[in-house]
Amino acid sequence: MYSIRLGHKLFDLSTPVVMGIVNATPDSFYPGSRYNSDRSVLNAVEKMLEDGASIIDVGGYSTRPDAEEITEDIEIKRLSVAIKAIRKHFPEAVISIDTFRAAVAREMIQEFEVEMINDIGGGTLDELMFETVAEFDTAYILMHTRGLPQNMQQQTEYTDVVADVFGFLQKNIARLRLLGVNDVIVDPGFGFAKTLEQNYTLLNKLSYFKQLGVPLLAGVSRKSMIYKLLGNEAKDALNGTTAVNMLALAGGASMLRVHDVKEASEAVKIYNACTKAV
């Protein structure tokens, strides 16, 4: 079973954990995850921690398809306001930063000692990212994508989506290991440069990625792979999200990144009861 060091804490991932999403942005794809004041951030974090979140993932740059590009300064300002409030009121919270920019990661690590960097670019969008997490010995989520949020959905041609994503993750795990980064989690990147069908192919073959030998994160919460299939909208996709989260757990996911922590925590509890039943 896996364990991962987050700051001064060692997390045992023999039981899957839940990561709660806090978007300090005005334009993330799911309006219910947008928190644009100290009070709204604190209310959200308080509820997530009460509902069973082990990690709070804070983002300042929307990475939905066709998202507006913002400067590093704006991203840093958004993140700083949110994290300063979280650190003050919930010092026990473990914080991950959702960014693909090395300068932003550096600022957040140095200023707030965040425990993890969640990089949707998997090192492809900033060549200094791997060196930065290695310098600070910070836990790192390596995600697969292609291109930028503004053009990634035009880059969905693969020879074999499972083999291609696996190869990308395997190659970059090796690069990170050579730099001395030991606490690595992989994310196949549901919804990033993938068609609806490709997302479900990856979900169906998720257990294949256990061969990488590192913990696996599934980030499917309320994404278009769910609501487009069901013919509804992100606001209506909680039930579908729970179904997909359960499939991800069955496929070997050690971490669920979600908007709705209570429901995900319940899914983990039910999954654990099932796997331990005799």
In this structure, what are the phi and psi dihedrals at residue 253, rounded to the nearest 5 degrees?
Answer: -65, 135
Which two structure tokens, joined as six digits, stand for 146?
A: 């292609």
The model's confidence at residue 31, banded by pLDDT at 50, 70 and 90, is: low
- CA nearest neighbour of 139 among 250, 6, 41, 1: 6
Global pTM? 0.93
pLDDT in the model for residue 267:
98
pLDDT in the model for residue 66:
63
Average pLDDT over residues 1-10: 88
Average pLDDT over residues 63-81: 83
Other Cβ atoms closer than 10 A to 8: 8
What pLDDT, in 10s, does the model give residues 146-180? 877 777 777 889 999 999 999 999 999 999 999 99
Average pLDDT, rounded, for the chain: 92
In this structure, what are the phi and psi dihedrals at residue 242, rounded to the nearest 5 degrees?
Answer: -60, -40
Q: Do 21 and 221 form a contact (C-beta atoms < 8 A)?
A: yes
Which is the catalytic residue, given 106, 146, 222, 223?
A: 223
Which is the catalytic residue, given 34, 257, 262, 276?
A: 257
What pLDDT, in 10s, does the model give residues 197-223? 999 999 999 999 999 999 999 999 999
Tokens 């061969």 belong to residue: 211
pLDDT in the model for residue 36:
63
The model's confidence at residue 181, banded by pLDDT at 50, 70 and 90, is: very high
pLDDT in the model for residue 64:
66
Average pLDDT over residues 66-88: 89
Separation CA 136–CA 130 (nearest Å): 10
Average pLDDT over residues 29-52: 78
Domain count, the chain: 1
Burial track 140-149 (b if 16+ CB lie within 10 A, e otherwise): bbbbbbbebb
Residue ranges making up the domain that contains 159 = 3-276
pLDDT in the model for residue 27:
53
**Half-sphere exposure at residue 175, Cβ-oriented, CA atoms within 13 angstroms:** 17
pLDDT in the model for residue 152:
78
**Residue 171 sits in a domain of what CATH number?**
3.20.20.20
Active site includes 223? yes
The model's confidence at residue 250, banded by pLDDT at 50, 70 and 90, is: very high
